[in-house]
Amino acid sequence: MTSTTTSTWKLPELLAPAGNWECAKAAVENGADAIYFGLDKFNARMRAENFTEADLPELMRFLHLRGVKGYVTVNTLIFPQELTQAQQYLKTIIAAGVDAIIVQDVGICRLIRHLSPDFPIHASTQMTITSAAGVEFAKSLGCQLVVLARECSIKEINKIQQQIHQHNTSLPLEVFVHGALCVAYSGQCLTSEALGGRSANRGECAQACRMPYDLIADGEVVDLGHRKYLLSPQDLVGLEVLPELVQSGVTSLKIEGRLKAPEYVANVTQVYRQALDRVANAESLETVSVRGKDLYNLEMAFSRGLYTGWFAGINNQELVHARFGKKRGVYLGEVTHIRNEQIAVKLAAPVKPGDGLVFDCGHPEAREEGGRVYAVVEKGREALLTFGRNDLNLHRIHIGDKVWKTSDPELDKQLRQSYSGENAQFLRPINLEVYGEVGDKLIAIARDELANIVQVASEILLVEAHTKPLTTEKLQEQLGRLGNTPFYLGNLTNHLQGNLMLPVSELNRMRRDIVTQLEALRSQPKPWQLNHDGKWQDLITLEPSPADSPVSLIVLVRNLQQLQAALAADITTLYCEFEDPRTYREAVQMVQGWRTAKNSPQIPTIWVAPPRITKPGETWILQQVRASQADGYLIRNYDQLEYFASDRCIGDFSLNVANPLTADYFQQRFHLERLTASYDLNIHQLEDLITTYSPEYLEVTIHQHMPMFHMEHCVFCAFLSDGTDYTNCGRPCEKHEVKIRDRVGSEHVLKADTGCRNTVYNGTAQTGSEYVQRLISLGLRNLRIEFLNETPEQVEKTIFYYRQLVQGEITGSQLWQKLKLQNQLGVTRGALGMM
* 499-542: pLDDT as tens digits: 999 999 999 999 999 999 999 999 988 899 999 999 999 999 87
Model pTM above 0.85: yes
- Helices 154-166 & 132-140 angle (0-180, nearest 10): 50
Q: What is the DSSP letter of 647?
A: S
If one counts every other C-beta atom within 10 angstroms of the C-beta of residue 299, the result is 23
- For residue 821, pLDDT over 70 is answered with no
As a dihedral over the C-alpha atoms of residue 405, residue 411, residue 413, residue 416, rounded to 10 degrees, the angle is: -110
Give pLDDT, residue 823: 46
CB 708 within 8 A of CB 177: no
CB 432 within 8 A of CB 38: no
Domain 13-188+231-282, architecture per CATH: Alpha-Beta Barrel (3.20)
Contacts 24+ apart (CB under 8 A), 446-449: 446/514, 446/517, 446/518, 448/67, 448/487, 448/518, 448/522, 449/3, 449/67
Averaged pLDDT, 448-467: 95
* 136-173: pLDDT as tens digits: 999 999 999 999 999 999 999 999 999 999 988 889 99
Q: What is the chain's mean pLDDT, rounded?
A: 92
Q: Which residue(s) pair with 488 in the sheet?
A: 429
Radius of gyration of the chain (CA): 31
Q: Which residue(s) pair with 103 in the sheet?
A: 74, 123
Pick from 356, 360, 331: nearest CA to 346: 331
CB 734 within 8 A of CB 795: no
CA–CA distance, 517 with 496 (Å, rounded to integer): 23
Pick from 388, 318, 393: nearest CA to 361: 393
- For residue 391, pLDDT over 70 is answered with yes
Proportion of the chain above pLDDT 70, given as a percent: 95
- Helices 262-281 & 21-29 angle (0-180, nearest 10): 20
**Pairing state between β 747-752 and 758-761:** antiparallel
Give pLDDT, residue 6: 47
CA–CA distance, 461 with 118 (Å, rounded to integer): 46
Minimum mean pLDDT range among 4-8, 559-563, 719-723 = 4-8
**Torsion-angle region of 581 (φ positive above 0: left; ψ -120 to 50: alpha; else: beta):** alpha
Give pLDDT, residue 40: 83
CA–CA distance, 698 with 701 (Å, rounded to integer): 10
If one counts every other C-beta atom within 10 angstroms of the C-beta of residue 210, the result is 16
- For residue 45, pLDDT over 70 is answered with no
Give pLDDT, residue 833: 60
Q: What angle do CA 358, 361, 365 make, to 5 degrees?
A: 85
- For residue 194, pLDDT over 70 is answered with no
Pick from 283, 533, 818, 299: nearest CA to 291: 299
Measured in residues, the chain has a length of 835
Q: Give the confidence band of 270 by pLDDT, cuts at 50, 70, 90.
A: very high
- For residue 830, pLDDT over 90 is answered with no
- For residue 457, pLDDT over 80 is answered with yes
CA–CA distance, 561 with 583 (Å, rounded to integer): 12
Give pLDDT, residue 170: 87
CA–CA distance, 341 with 393 (Å, rounded to integer): 10
Asked whether this chain's domains 13-188+231-282 and 549-706+767-821 adopt the same fold, the reply is: yes
* 624-672: pLDDT as tens digits: 999 999 999 999 999 999 999 999 999 999 999 999 999 999 999 999 9
CA–CA distance, 552 with 573 (Å, rounded to integer): 8
CA–CA distance, 298 with 235 (Å, rounded to integer): 10
Q: What angle do CA 339, 341, 347 make, to 5 degrees?
A: 70
CA–CA distance, 3 with 427 (Å, rounded to integer): 6
For domain 329-419, give the CATH number: 2.40.10
- End-to-end, the C-alpha distance of the chain in Å comes to 49
Give pLDDT, residue 543: 67
Q: Give the confidence band of 112 by pLDDT, cuts at 50, 70, 90.
A: very high
For domain 549-706+767-821, give the CATH number: 3.20.20.70
CA–CA distance, 478 with 253 (Å, rounded to integer): 38
- For residue 623, pLDDT over 50 is answered with yes
- For residue 447, pLDDT over 90 is answered with yes
Q: Give the confidence band of 835 by pLDDT, cuts at 50, 70, 90.
A: very low
CA–CA distance, 695 with 685 (Å, rounded to integer): 14
The string of DSSP codes covering 590-641 is HHHHHHHHHT-SS-SEEEE---S---TT-HHHHHHHHTT--SEEEE-SHHHH
Q: Which residues contact 76 (CB under 8 A, 6 or more apart)?
A: 42, 43, 44, 104, 105, 126, 201, 202, 203
CA–CA distance, 707 with 191 (Å, rounded to integer): 8
Measuring CA to CA, how many Å separate 51 from each of 39, 41, 241, 452, 484? 5, 10, 33, 28, 27
The string of DSSP codes covering 507-532 is HHHHHHHHHHHHHHHHHSPP-----T
Proportion of the chain above pLDDT 90, given as a percent: 81
- For residue 197, pLDDT over 70 is answered with no
Averaged pLDDT, 475-480: 96
* 318-345: pLDDT as tens digits: 999 999 888 999 999 999 999 888 999 9
- Listed by start position, the domains of the chain span 13-188+231-282, 329-419, 428-523, 549-706+767-821
CA–CA distance, 552 with 650 (Å, rounded to integer): 15
CA–CA distance, 536 with 538 (Å, rounded to integer): 5
Q: What is the DSSP letter of 33?
A: S
Measuring CA to CA, how many Å separate 748 from each of 213, 446, 735, 739, 789? 10, 64, 18, 5, 11
